[in-house]
Amino acid sequence: MPIDEKPSRNEEEYFARRNAELINEQRAKLDETRQKQERASHFMRCPKCGGKLVEREFQHLRIDECPDCGGMWLDKGEMEMLAHVERSQLERFIGSMFGLRR
């Protein structure tokens, strides 16, 4: 085929479609990377002030505490698990979190 001849229409459509597919693949990878970075930036961060959360263990539960604002955070299902802890132990634990002695 001589150089000045125009490529066929099918060839143009093929490359246009292929370029669009490649762009979509790259965009999807970039979106996935951005989403992972966004999630990582919030991992173990206080939803109220953004401080680094510290885990405190109590009766096989890990309660997340923010040393900056004093917020306490429970993961899914932990509130229900606290219902099974003896009241005296729970009161002692809560008192220790707020610096109260019993």
Q: Do 33 and 61 sit in the same domain of this protein?
A: no
* Residue 28 resides in a domain: yes
Residue 1 to residue 12: CA distance in whole angstroms? 16
Beta strands in the chain (DSSP E): 54-58, 61-65, 72-73
Q: Do 60 and 93 sit in the same domain of this protein?
A: yes
pLDDT of residue 72: 82
Secondary element (H or E) of residue 79 = helix 78-82
Question: DSSP string of 2-22?
Answer: -TTSPPPHHHHHHHHHHHHHH
Q: Do 60 and 32 sit in the same domain of this protein?
A: no
Question: pLDDT by residue (tens digit) across 24-42?
Answer: 999 999 999 888 887 766 6
Domain holding 58, by residue range, is: 54-97
> What is the mean predicted confidence (pLDDT) over 16-27?
94
> What is the mean predicted confidence (pLDDT) over 51-55?
88
> What is the mean predicted confidence (pLDDT) over 2-24?
81
* Residue 6 resides in a domain: yes
pLDDT of residue 6: 61
Q: Do 1 and 37 sit in the same domain of this protein?
A: yes
Question: pLDDT by residue (tens digit) across 75-84?
Answer: 888 878 877 7
Q: How many domains does the chain have?
A: 2
Residues of the chain with pLDDT > 70, as a percent, come to: 75
DSSP 8-state symbol, 34: H
Q: What number of CA atoms fall less than 13 Å from residue 93's CA on the CB side? A: 17
